Amino acid sequence: MEPVSFAFGAVSFLERLSGFDRAIARVADPARLRYAVRAKTALVAIIDDLERWQRAFDPSWFFLARISVPLIDEELTRERADQSDVVSTVVHLRQAHKTNRTDSEPLNSMFLSGNYAIDKQELITSSVFMGYHADQKIIVDHIPLKEYMDVTQTTKDVRSLVRVLSTVGPDHFGLLSALGVIKTTEKETLTGFNIIFAVPPHLSQSQPRSLRSVLTAGNEYNLDERFKLAISLACSLVYLHSSSIIHKNISPENIILFPTPGRLGVPFLVGFERFRPSEGRTYMTGDAKWERNLYRHPRRQGLHPEEEYSMQHDIYSLGVCLLEVGLWTSFVQYKGSRPLLGPGLPIGEFLCDRDGRRSAVQIKQTLLEIAESRLPVLMGKIYANVVVSCLTCLDRDGSFGDKAELEDEDGILVGVRYIEKIGSRLSQIY
């Protein structure tokens, strides 16, 4: 049986058992004992497989963090949390989710003092910059507070995001570990939030660059480096989605690297300015910037998108990024601050089309045709199929299946299908 399928089956088994909690509590001790033995056996098997498969791309186990079964906490903590980085991460992630669900900490928890001193050094993207706090190298990611946002709810959402990101092990998940968040103000009015990320010590001597700047620089990197980049990006998305977080802004501008000669290094996903909890409020807003719409599914483009943002929309955005990585070219180039269409992407006439919906569909079709025709030669059939799966993840006849069939309460079906179609295929390459 495939690891992912087994994982999902075991997790589903635990969920079914959890539904019997109250009933079991009212019956005789022998019945309760049999229940406990069955649940413990299933969980021990899960932990064993978690440790066995952690070296491969199978982060489906992080969906354990989404299931409210007390026995999982007891067994994970007692068994091997102090011996395995991955098990430890699941433990801390479950605790973060529990705190977020119960809202059991003060609103200002995870918030740093307004006197937190930052020596700003270098702008990496329009919303992300590098700096220092004392002698520690940090990355600062700004989330603006828009006028249509509810201040209290947005503050809670940012706090929950930072709490989850504080559990990250940056060496494994393509995400930086959050130290906390600072409120930004102007004339005593709250204007946004600065998330403070720690740069791992072993990367502190390297200068961070966006994937966009690396792509436009034109330096060549071997296929191993590009495959590792793709796997890390896919893993970071699993971690976010298993934490009920939708990024909504995935593009090469929001992926940073610490490259060294001949090596790309580990990518880190940043740019959380548009994030939202998967079950949280969505404002159905957009913009008309073509360089951003290029990474959005046709139904999420323009000033008034057609549908709410979902995990699948993040997967589509990832597909466009992986297409650029596979071609090793940038679809967007900048002349100063002005975005220009990069070489190798013949969509100029579509961008001039006044029918935005038709233009978006034509651009998506062009991306799909490029992936199907050029990637097999450059990156192999498996990588090409991964990109095609991402770009068609919302299609009724795509490899993900009907979107309606994936809309389970916890979003776990979407995540498992993603790992089956994207992650496990990438792991076959490298």
The per-residue pLDDT for range 153-166, each reduced to its tens digit, is: 899 899 989 988 98
The crossing angle, in degrees rounded to 10, of helices 381-391 and 223-242 is 30
pLDDT for the residue 35: 39
The overall average pLDDT reported for the chain is 77
pLDDT tens readout for residues 237-269: 887 877 778 898 999 999 999 988 889 988 999
Which CATH number is 208-429's, of 2.160.20.10, 1.10.510.10, 1.10.10.60, 3.40.190.10?
A: 1.10.510.10
Q: How many CA atoms lie within 13 A of 327 on its CB side?
A: 21
Q: pLDDT band at 282, cuts 50/70/90? A: low
pLDDT tens readout for residues 285-296: 667 789 999 999
**What is the rounded CA–CA span in Å between residue 158 and residue 283?**
16
* Ranges 18-27, 96-105, 217-226: which has the least confidence: 18-27
Mean pLDDT for 111-139 is 87
Mean pLDDT for 47-68 is 51
The single-letter code of the amino acid at 315 is I
| pLDDT over 90 (residue 387) | yes
Place of tokens 């295929």: 425
C-alpha 145, offset from chain centre? 21
pLDDT for the residue 182: 95
The crossing angle, in degrees rounded to 10, of helices 85-102 and 151-165 is 160
| pLDDT over 60 (residue 4) | no
Place of tokens 């192999």: 380
**What is the rounded CA–CA span in Å between residue 351 and residue 341?**
10
Place of tokens 């990832």: 318
| pLDDT over 80 (residue 174) | yes
Nearest to 393 by CA among 370, 360, 419: 419
> Taking the domains of the chain in order of start, what are their residue ranges?
3-102, 208-429
**What is the rounded CA–CA span in Å between residue 24 and residue 42?**
18
What is the 3-state secondary structure of the chain? Answer: CCHHHHHHHHHHHHHHHHCCHHHHHCCCHHHHHHHHHHHHHHHHHHHHHHHHHCCCCCHHHHHHHHCCCHHHHHHHHHHCCCCCHHHHHHHHHHHHHHHHHHCCCCCCCCECCCCCCCEEEEECCCCEEEEEECCEEEEEEEEECCCCCCHHHHHHHHHHHHHHHCCCCHHHHCCCEEEEEEEEEECCEEEEEEEEEECCHHHCCCCCEEHHHHHHHCCCCCHHHHHHHHHHHHHHHHHHHHCCEECCCCCHHHEEECCECCECCCCEECCHHHCEECCCCCCCCCECCHHHHCCCCHHHCECCCCCCCCHHHHHHHHHHHHHHHHHCCCCEEEECCEEEECCCCCCHHHHCCCCHHHHHHHHHHHHHHHHHHHHHHHHCHHHHHHHHHHHCCCCCCCCCCCHHHHCCCCCHHHHHHHHHHHHHHHHHHC
* Ranges 17-21, 67-71, 82-86, 182-186: which has the least confidence: 17-21
pLDDT tens readout for residues 302-316: 665 756 777 888 989
Question: Which residues lie closer than 8 Å to 382 by C-beta, 6 or more apart?
Answer: 425, 426, 428, 429
Mean pLDDT for 182-190 is 90
CB 339 within 8 A of CB 294: no
Q: The whole model's pTM is what?
A: 0.79
**What is the rounded CA–CA span in Å between residue 173 and residue 239?**
7
How many other β-carbons are positioned within 10 Å of the β-carbon of residue 5?
A: 12
| pLDDT over 70 (residue 101) | no
**What is the rounded CA–CA span in Å between residue 267 and residue 258?**
8
pLDDT for the residue 71: 59
pLDDT for the residue 13: 46
Question: Which residues lie closer than 8 Å to 69 by C-beta, 6 or more apart?
Answer: 14, 15, 17, 18, 39
Bigger pLDDT: 291 or 26?
A: 291
pLDDT for the residue 208: 92
pLDDT for the residue 383: 92
The crossing angle, in degrees rounded to 10, of helices 223-242 and 311-327 is 170
Q: Which two tokens stand for residue 234?
A: 């896919």
Q: Which two tokens stand for residue 386?
A: 């991964």
- The highest-confidence range among 10-14, 224-228, 274-278, by mean pLDDT, is 224-228
pLDDT for the residue 291: 92
Bigger pLDDT: 144 or 33?
A: 144
Nearest to 64 by CA among 39, 38, 87, 35: 87
